[in-house]
Amino acid sequence: MYRLPDPKTLFRNVDISMPVVVAVSGGSDSIALLLLAVAWARHNNVSLQIATVDHGLRPEAAAEAAFVASLCESLDVFHVTLAWEGIKPVNGISEAARNARYRLLEEFAGDVGADTILVGHTADDQAETIAMRLKRNGGSASGRGLSGMAPVTRLRDNVILIRPLLGLSRQMLRDYLLEHNQSWIEDPSNFDASYERVNIRLELKSRPDHAANLVDFGRVMGRYRRMLSNRAAEFLEENLGVSCGLVYSLPTSKLAIQPRPVVTLALQTVMALAGGRPHLVPADSVDTLLGELKSNQLDDKQSKLTRTTLGNAVIERKEGLLRFYRETRNLPAILLGPGDNIVWDGRLEIENKTSSSLFCGPLDLGHLQELETSLGKKLDVSPRSALRSTPMLRGDEDEFFLPFVKSESVPNEIILRQRVPALEHFCPAFDLPLLDWLHDFQEQNGLTSIMGQRSG
């Protein structure tokens, strides 16, 4: 006997003061989410914006989007189909499609003034996700990913993704739809055994107790992940420093007295700050580095590690510190037109409010020599090699600026913000302590919004 979900309880974390985006594909889970959201929205006077993403990967996708549009029309709610356009990658298509889906939903949320996106993941999806991650982990019950999907995830620009159905089974939702005589669409890929998730789903269907245990295990791992994020954030708050040229530093003596998982996550975070990569460096790689540090931890002269590179970040040991900064490889050079807003190297958001074009690229030796000659001294950046990966902005008249070395010279019409995509772009609630620490750290060190004090 199924129990009807209570919409008031399901949507208790949703801000009703702004429009709410609901992602609906046409499958049973998302159609149930749609009906429940409509009932809740009418009772609370909430503006719902329904969005279906057409990835352009299956011929049936357009008909499925039309089905959802027709249902929304009958429910008197707004619907839009968002198309993933352009050339699709040959490899990694599932991850690319997922990233495109969330990007399109985020952009649509911004367009309609919404800060919340609802998606229809269920307890079945959670069990499948954890089972797949366990399998990839060789059955080892360790790793932050075993927490599964978070009920709430922070996306970019303060948009949040909420999974209100995560505690409900797929069968419960289908029973709800059947009672309301509501049909849904079965995605053919749900029966394609070439997909890993389909095989896991079939396995769990014959072992319902195991599926329930996986969900319980995910809850425990979620609490562990939150605790770990708290400890890593506290450690970084007390010990991380940053100097000109975006050179980060941690005292090696402090690393020795922390639990290994805390140190691993802290170093992953600093590498994300320095390197600008979209994902954290794998924990195994960081643990290997820590193994090299372990011998003669406090003696720099005897340490096995002097300098290495991980996740686009140089890590070097000197005078009792580990220093982190961006390596000089693969640094982009871009041209921004008036009004353009882009992110350079994953690390720096640039908004060009001037009336002319703006170049951004790594500092070259010619401009470095010119600047130091004009100043009559060397720039106060240590190590010097960090200067070569420092972003340089150059205007039409070849006037140039170094925002992380001489930020006071940047014109007011050029607005800069440090970005850390590995933490900011898809942050589960488990990791919010780290994200909160990051924002505090950026504000305290003038990295949230860098603007000059002179006219352009």
Query: 396-444 pLDDT, tens per residue?
Result: 777 888 888 876 678 888 889 899 999 999 999 999 999 999 999 999 9
Among the listed residues 57, 37, 35, 33, the one whose alpha carbon sits nearest the alpha carbon of residue 47: 37
Q: Is the pLDDT of residue 393 over 50?
A: yes
Name 116's bridge partners: 20, 160
- Helices 170-179 & 28-44 angle (0-180, nearest 10): 70
- Residue 232, classified by CB atoms within 10 Å of its CB into exposed (0-12), middle (13-18) or buried (19+), is buried
Kindly state the helix (H) or strand (E) to which residue 37 belongs, with its residue range.
helix 28-44
CA-to-CA dists, residue 419 to 199, 344, 404, angstroms: 38, 9, 13
Which residues does 438 contact at the CB level (< 8 Å), separation at least 6? 269, 273, 420, 423, 424
The pLDDT score that the predictor gives to residue 286 is: 93
Percent of the chain residues topping a pLDDT of 70: 93
The average pLDDT across 141-168 equals 91
Both structure tokens of 157 = 């620009």
The pLDDT score that the predictor gives to residue 91 is: 83
The pLDDT score that the predictor gives to residue 141 is: 62
Comma-separated ranges of CATH 3.40.50.620 domains in the chain: 7-223
CA-to-CA dists, residue 362 to 265, 272, 408, angstroms: 28, 18, 19
- Residue 235, classified by CB atoms within 10 Å of its CB into exposed (0-12), middle (13-18) or buried (19+), is buried
The pLDDT score that the predictor gives to residue 319 is: 85
Q: 71-85, 250-264, 266-280, 287-301: lowest mean pLDDT where?
A: 287-301
| Confidence (pTM) | 0.89
CA-to-CA dists, residue 82 to 50, 103, 108, 122, angstroms: 10, 10, 8, 23
DSSP 193-242: TTSHHHHHHHHHHT-HHHHHHHHHHHHHHHHHHHHHHHHHHHHHHHH-EE
Q: How confident is the model at residue 449 (pLDDT cuts 50, 70, 90)?
A: low
Q: Between vectors from CA 313 to CA 440 and to CA 267, what angle results, nearest 5°?
A: 55
CA distance 409 to 398: 14
Percent of the chain residues topping a pLDDT of 90: 66
CA distance 118 to 25: 12
CA distance 183 to 71: 10
The pLDDT score that the predictor gives to residue 185 is: 95
Per residue in 337-371, pLDDT (tens digit) is: 999 999 999 999 999 999 999 999 999 999 999 88
Both structure tokens of 430 = 């488990």
Q: Is the pLDDT of residue 322 over 50?
A: yes
The pLDDT score that the predictor gives to residue 294 is: 66
The pLDDT score that the predictor gives to residue 95 is: 85
The pLDDT score that the predictor gives to residue 257 is: 87
CATH code for residues 7-223: 3.40.50.620
Q: Is the pLDDT of residue 129 over 80?
A: yes
Both structure tokens of 394 = 């150059």
Per residue in 8-27, pLDDT (tens digit) is: 889 998 999 999 999 999 99
Per residue in 42-84, pLDDT (tens digit) is: 999 999 999 999 998 888 889 999 999 999 999 999 999 999 9
Contact between residue 229 and residue 432 where contact means Cβ atoms under 8 Å apart = yes
Look at the block and give the residue holding tokens 């805390």. 262
Q: Is the pLDDT of residue 275 over 90?
A: yes
Q: What is the dihedral of CA 120, 123, 125, 129, to 10 degrees?
A: 130
Q: Does 235-326 carry CATH code 3.30.465?
A: yes
More confident call, 46 vs 298:
46
Which residues does 79 contact at the CB level (< 8 Å), separation at least 6? 50, 51, 52, 68, 69, 72, 73
- Helices 432-444 & 208-239 angle (0-180, nearest 10): 20
The pLDDT score that the predictor gives to residue 298 is: 44
Q: 180-184, 301-305, 310-314: lowest mean pLDDT where?
A: 301-305
* Cα torsion 93, 97, 99, 103: sign: positive
Q: Is the pLDDT of residue 453 over 50?
A: no
Neighbours of 215 (CB within 10 A): 18
CA distance 146 to 153: 16
More confident call, 331 vs 145:
331
Q: Between vectors from CA 353 to CA 348 and to CA 357, what angle results, nearest 5°?
A: 80
Per residue in 159-189, pLDDT (tens digit) is: 999 999 999 999 999 999 999 999 999 877 7
The pLDDT score that the predictor gives to residue 1 is: 44
The average pLDDT across 109-127 equals 96
Q: How confident is the model at residue 150 (pLDDT cuts 50, 70, 90)?
A: very high
* Terminal Cα distance for the chain, rounded: 69
The pLDDT score that the predictor gives to residue 173 is: 95
Q: 244-248, 313-317, 397-401: lowest mean pLDDT where?
A: 397-401
Comma-separated ranges of CATH 3.30.465 domains in the chain: 235-326
